[in-house]
């Protein structure tokens, strides 16, 4: 095994919470991860169990049931949640991590008080709905409309690839309230039981345990009080949310890559070939070192950028590069781990097989690799 990256910012409090999350994962998720993957869902009760240990409230205001958390606490959570090897469980269990922040920092006080406590207690599910069938990363040109009608908005359009889309009780939706371009974009909180809202379940390559949906809005009447921030001010809120999401995805990808390394090392030590353990073959040892090298480099970059964020910096270009570095590391390690496992790595139920299936969603979601490169280049003045 390779020693995990540490940081002078990992305090006793960080490590204490790490132990709590590790016990939670070992008891409540890992024994069931494969079965949930096959069932393409997990019990809703898991949200309440996660809330009970403080997992769902991390980083949210204490007034609504949250707990203060810095960048390094979020990294700790990502590292521990990866241990069970199911990105699908994590994606839906933690979908409030992208759906609820705009409510917390841009919602009206009475809406925050009405909505956030239930989400952070695991009683309600929150999802973010940005992507549309005709445009993925091209957020500025989204087509879903919200027309003001008295004290309501009338919403029409579609969103797709929405994590927790089938079960979400609250949807944070990007809509067009004005003219073309980013200045016409707003964020609107839409209750999941709104008349005119319908949902279609999507089948996926990976993340089977996470429900993913296309949402259809047909003359949905949404109270105007559910507008998040100012009308026409949604684009900056979305971009702010993306930076946080990309850091989270980077931490998660690095953690899943480490799981691949650890699983491959464990298997190589046990598997006997040609009269000796697989790990005693030089070609396998070199594969494992290559995997470990990429994980350590990625974790180091992650720690450095987390520290810079705590210093008040906004290193957008580097965050974009980190996301690509992390997803590419995950892809490399998952592929090599399956290769080391051989036939066993092709069988359902192995962590490395599941992680291998879940590589591409990370390289696409939260901003595709190509978009990340283009955004980084613009931030660099190129």
Query: Cα(172)–Cα(131) distance, rounded to whole angstroms?
Result: 12
Query: Cα(272)–Cα(286) distance, rounded to whole angstroms?
Result: 17
288 and 374 together in one domain: yes
For residue 301, give the CATH number of its domain.
1.20.140.10
Query: Cα(302)–Cα(17) distance, rounded to whole angstroms?
Result: 20
What Rg value do the Cα atoms of the chain yield, rounded? Answer: 21
Query: Cα(224)–Cα(60) distance, rounded to whole angstroms?
Result: 24
371 and 240 together in one domain: yes
227 and 240 together in one domain: no
Pairing between β-strand 170-176 and β-strand 276-277 as defined by DSSP bridges: unpaired
For each of the chain's 382 residues, which pLDDT tens digit applies?
666 655 677 899 999 999 999 999 999 999 999 999 999 999 999 999 999 999 999 999 999 999 999 999 999 999 999 999 999 999 999 999 999 999 999 999 999 999 999 999 999 999 999 999 987 667 888 999 999 999 999 999 999 999 999 999 999 999 999 999 999 999 999 999 999 999 999 999 999 999 999 999 999 999 999 999 999 999 999 988 888 899 999 999 999 999 999 999 999 999 989 999 999 999 999 999 999 999 999 999 999 999 999 999 999 999 999 999 999 999 999 999 999 999 999 999 999 999 999 999 999 998 899 999 999 999 999 8
- Number of structural domains (the chain) is 3
- Domain stop point among 65, 94, 120: 120
Query: Cα(184)–Cα(231) distance, rounded to whole angstroms?
Result: 8
Domain that holds residue 107: 12-120
108 and 190 together in one domain: no
What does pTM read for this prediction? 0.94
DSSP-derived secondary structure letter, 231: T
User: 14: which residues sit within 8 A by CB, 6+ positions away?
Assistant: 72, 73, 76
158, 142 contact by CB (below 8 A): no
- Domain stop point among 181, 203, 234: 234
195 and 277 together in one domain: no
Nearest residue to 246 (alpha-carbon basis) of 163, 366, 358: 366
184 and 285 together in one domain: no
- Domain stop point among 199, 234, 269: 234
252, 87 contact by CB (below 8 A): yes
230 and 248 together in one domain: no
104 and 138 together in one domain: no
190 and 242 together in one domain: no
Q: Is residue 3 part of a domain?
A: no
211 and 280 together in one domain: no
47 and 164 together in one domain: no
The structure tokens listed for 183 are 């200045």
216 and 258 together in one domain: no
Q: Is residue 259 part of a domain?
A: yes
């Amino acid at each position: 095994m390779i020693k995990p990256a540490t940081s002078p910012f990992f305090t006793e409090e960080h490590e204490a919470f790490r132990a709590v999350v590790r016990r939670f994962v070992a008891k409540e998720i890992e024994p069931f991860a494969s079965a949930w993957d096959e069932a393409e869902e997990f019990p809703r009760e898991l949200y309440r169990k996660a809330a009970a240990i403080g997992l769902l409230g991390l980083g949210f205001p204490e007034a609504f049931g949250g707990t203060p958390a810095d960048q390094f606490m979020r990294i700790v959570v990502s590292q521990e949640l990866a241990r069970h090897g199911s990105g699908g469980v994590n994606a839906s269990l933690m979908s409030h991590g992208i759906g609820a922040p705009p409510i917390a920092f841009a919602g009206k006080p009475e809406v925050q008080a009405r909505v956030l406590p239930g989400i952070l207690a695991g009683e309600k599910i929150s999802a973010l709905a940005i992507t549309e069938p005709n445009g993925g990363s091209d957020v500025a040109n989204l087509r879903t409309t919200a027309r003001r009608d008295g004290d309501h908005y009338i919403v029409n359009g579609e969103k797709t690839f929405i994590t927790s889309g089938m079960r979400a009780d609250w949807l944070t939706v990007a809509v067009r309230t004005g003219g073309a371009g980013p200045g016409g974009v707003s964020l609107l909180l839409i209750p999941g039981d709104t008349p005119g809202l319908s949902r279609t379940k999507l089948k996926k390559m990976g993340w089977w345990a996470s429900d993913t949906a296309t949402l259809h809005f047909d003359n949905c009447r949404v109270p105007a009080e559910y507008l998040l921030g100012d009308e026409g001010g949604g684009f900056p809120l979305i971009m702010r949310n993306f930076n946080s999401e990309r850091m989270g995805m980077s931490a998660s990808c690095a953690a899943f890559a480490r799981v691949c390394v650890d699983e491959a090392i464990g298997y190589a030590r046990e598997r006997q070939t040609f009269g000796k353990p697989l790990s005693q073959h030089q070609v396998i040892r070199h594969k494992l070192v290559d995997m470990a090298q990429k994980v350590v480099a990625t974790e180091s970059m992650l720690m450095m950028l987390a520290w810079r964020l705590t210093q008040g910096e906004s290193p957008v270009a580097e965050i974009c590069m980190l996301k690509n570095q992390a997803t590419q590391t995950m892809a490399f390690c998952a592929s090599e781990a399956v290769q080391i496992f051989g036939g066993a790595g092709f069988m359902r139920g192995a962590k490395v097989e599941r992680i291998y299936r879940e590589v591409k969603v990370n390289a696409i979601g939260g901003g595709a690799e190509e978009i990340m490169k283009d955004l980084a280049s613009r931030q660099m003045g190129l």
